[in-house]
Chains A and B, each alone.
Chain A
Amino acid sequence: MESKQLLKTIYGATAVLLIVGTALFLWHTTKHRKWSGQQKLIILGIDGMDPQLLRRFMSEGKMPNFARLAQEGSFRELATSTPPQSPVAWSNLITGMNAGGHGIFDFIHRDPKTMELYFSTSRVTPAAHTIHIGNWTVPIGGGHAEQLRKGDAFWEILDRYGVPNSIFRIPANFPPVPVKGKTLSGMGTPDLRGTYGTFSFYTDDPSTEAGAVEGGQIIPVKVQNFQVQTELIGPDNSFRKNSPPATKSFRMTIDPLESLARISLDDQQFILREGEWSDWIHIRFEMVPFLASVDGICRFYLKQVHPRFQLYVSPINIDPANPALPISTPGDYSKALATDVGDFYTQGIAEDTKALSNGVLDDDEYLDEARTVLAEHRKIFDVELPQFKRGVFFFYFSSLDLNSHMFWRLMDPQHPAYDAALARKNGSVISDFYQQIDQVLGETLSHIDSQTTLLVLSDHGFAPYARSFNLNTWLLRNGYLRVLNRDASSSDGPFANVDWSRTRAYGLGLNGLYLNMQGREQHGIVPAGPPADALLREIKKKLLAIKDPENGFPVITRVDVAREVYQGPYSTSGPDLLVGYNRGYRAGWQSILGGLSPDILENNTNRWSGDHCMDPALVPGVLLSNRKIAVASPALTDIAPTILTEFGIPKSKGMMGHSIFYTDPKPGAGQ
Chain B
Amino acid sequence: MSLLLQSSFVLLVGAFDFVCSVFGTRVDSALLLVILLSIVTGFLMTLVYRYASNQAAIRIEKDRIKANLLAVRVYRDELSVVAQSYGRVLSGTVRYLKYSLRPLLFSGIPLIILVVQADRYLGFEPLRTGQPFLVSVVSATASEKVAIHTPAGLEITAAPVHIADENKVVWRLSATKEGQYDVIIEADGQSFEKQVVASSRLTRLSQFRLQAPWWKRIWVSAEPALPRGSMIESIEVGYPFRYIDFAWMQWNWVWLLLVLSVASGFVFKWVLGVEI
Tell whether A256 pairs with B238 under 8 Å between CB atoms, given A269-B134, A270-B132, A270-B134.
no
Does A130 belong to the interface (CB within 8 Å)? no
Does B164 belong to the interface (CB within 8 Å)? yes
Q: When the two chains form the complex, which single residue of A225, A271, A276 contacts B161, counting CB atoms closer than 8 Å?
A: A271
Tell whether A253 pairs with B163 under 8 Å between CB atoms, given A269-B238, A271-B158.
yes
Does B172 belong to the interface (CB within 8 Å)? yes
Does B159 belong to the interface (CB within 8 Å)? yes
| B165 lies within 8 A of A225 (CB) | yes
Roughly how many angstroms separate A99 CA and B26 CA in the complex, as a whole number?
52
- Annotate A119-160 by CB proximity to B: 1 below 8 A, 0 otherwise: 000000000000000000000000000000000000000000
In B32-53, the 8 Å CB interface with A consists of none
A274–chain B nearest beta-carbon distance, Å: 10
B129–chain A nearest beta-carbon distance, Å: 14
Roughly how many angstroms separate A277 CA and B115 CA in the complex, as a whole number?
38
A contacts with B: majority SS: strand
B255–chain A nearest beta-carbon distance, Å: 13
Does B160 belong to the interface (CB within 8 Å)? yes
- Annotate A248-282 by CB proximity to B: 1 below 8 A, 0 otherwise: 00000111111011100001011111001001000
| B161 lies within 8 A of A261 (CB) | yes
In A221-264, the 8 Å CB interface with B consists of 225-227, 253-258, 260-262
B30–chain A nearest beta-carbon distance, Å: 15
Roughly how many angstroms separate A226 CA and B170 CA in the complex, as a whole number?
14
| B164 lies within 8 A of A262 (CB) | no
Which residues of chain B come closer than 8 Å to A262, judged between CB atoms?
134, 161, 163, 170
| B159 lies within 8 A of A273 (CB) | yes
Tell whether A273 pairs with B134 under 8 Å between CB atoms, given A226-B164, A262-B170, A267-B241.
no
Does B162 belong to the interface (CB within 8 Å)? yes
Roughly how many angstroms separate A260 CA and B162 CA in the complex, as a whole number?
10
| A255 lies within 8 A of B159 (CB) | yes
Which residues of chain B come closer than 8 Å to A257, judged between CB atoms?
162
A82–chain B nearest beta-carbon distance, Å: 46
| B241 lies within 8 A of A258 (CB) | no
B162–chain A nearest beta-carbon distance, Å: 5
A330–chain B nearest beta-carbon distance, Å: 14
Which residue of B is nearest A253, CB measured?
B163
**Count of B residues near A, CB < 8 Å?**
15
A255–chain B nearest beta-carbon distance, Å: 5
| A258 lies within 8 A of B161 (CB) | yes
Which residues of chain A come closer than 8 Å to B161, judged between CB atoms?
253-255, 258, 260-262, 271
A440–chain B nearest beta-carbon distance, Å: 24
- Annotate B210-247 by CB proximity to A: 1 below 8 A, 0 otherwise: 00000000000000000000000000001001000000
Which residues of chain B come closer than 8 Å to A225, judged between CB atoms?
165
Which residues of chain A come closer than 8 Å to B170, judged between CB atoms?
262, 269, 271
Which residue of B is nearest A278, CB measured?
B132
Residue among A253, A261, A276 with max Cβ neighbours from chain B (10 Å): A253
**Count of A residues near B, CB < 8 Å?**
20
Roughly how many angstroms separate A178 CA and B238 CA in the complex, as a whole number?
42
Which residue of A is nearest B172, CB measured?
A271
B7–chain A nearest beta-carbon distance, Å: 33
Roughly how many angstroms separate A261 CA and B170 CA in the complex, as a whole number?
10
B150–chain A nearest beta-carbon distance, Å: 15
Which residue of A is nearest B241, CB measured?
A267
| B132 lies within 8 A of A279 (CB) | yes
Which residue of B is nearest A225, CB measured?
B165
Which residue of B is nearest A271, CB measured?
B172
| B134 lies within 8 A of A271 (CB) | yes
Roughly how many angstroms separate A267 CA and B241 CA in the complex, as a whole number?
8
Which residues of chain B come closer than 8 Å to A227, judged between CB atoms?
165
Which residues of chain A come closer than 8 Å to B162, judged between CB atoms?
255-257
Roughly how many angstroms separate A273 CA and B157 CA in the complex, as a whole number?
9
In B136-172, the 8 Å CB interface with A consists of 158-165, 170-172
| B172 lies within 8 A of A255 (CB) | no
Residue among B158, B171, B241 with max Cβ neighbours from chain A (10 Å): B158
A404–chain B nearest beta-carbon distance, Å: 33
Residue among B158, B161, B164, B172 with max Cβ neighbours from chain A (10 Å): B161
Q: When the two chains form the complex, which single residue of B158, B164, B241 contacts A260, counting CB atoms closer than 8 Å?
A: B158
B192–chain A nearest beta-carbon distance, Å: 21
Which residues of chain A come closer than 8 Å to B165, judged between CB atoms?
225, 227
Roughly how many angstroms separate A269 CA and B132 CA in the complex, as a whole number?
10
- Annotate B183-222 by CB proximity to A: 1 below 8 A, 0 otherwise: 0000000000000000000000000000000000000000
B98–chain A nearest beta-carbon distance, Å: 32
Which residues of chain A come closer than 8 Å to B132, judged between CB atoms?
270-271, 279
Which residue of A is nearest B170, CB measured?
A262
Roughly how many angstroms separate A254 CA and B165 CA in the complex, as a whole number?
12
Roughly how many angstroms separate A269 CA and B163 CA in the complex, as a whole number?
14
Roughly how many angstroms separate A253 CA and B163 CA in the complex, as a whole number?
7
Which residues of chain B come closer than 8 Å to A253, judged between CB atoms?
161, 163
Roughly how many angstroms separate A29 CA and B237 CA in the complex, as a whole number?
63
Roughly how many angstroms separate A261 CA and B162 CA in the complex, as a whole number?
9
In A180-238, the 8 Å CB interface with B consists of 225-227
A326–chain B nearest beta-carbon distance, Å: 16
Which residues of chain A come closer than 8 Å to B238, judged between CB atoms?
269
- Annotate A51-80 by CB proximity to B: 1 below 8 A, 0 otherwise: 000000000000000000000000000000
Roughly how many angstroms separate A227 CA and B134 CA in the complex, as a whole number?
18
Q: A255-B159, A262-B161, A273-B159 are in contact. List 7 more A-B contacts (CB 8 A).
A: A227-B165, A258-B160, A260-B161, A262-B170, A269-B134, A270-B172, A273-B158
* Shortest beta-carbon contacts, A-B, top 5: A271-B172, A255-B161, A262-B161, A258-B159, A271-B158
- Taking beta carbons and an 8 Å cutoff, which residues of A are in contact with B? 225-227, 253-258, 260-262, 267, 269-273, 276, 279
Can you pick out 27 interface pairs between chain A and chain B where the beta carbons lie within 8 Å of each other?
A225-B165, A226-B164, A253-B161, A253-B163, A255-B159, A255-B160, A256-B162, A256-B164, A257-B162, A258-B160, A258-B161, A260-B159, A260-B161, A262-B134, A262-B161, A262-B163, A262-B170, A269-B134, A270-B132, A270-B134, A271-B132, A271-B134, A271-B161, A271-B170, A272-B158, A273-B159, A276-B158
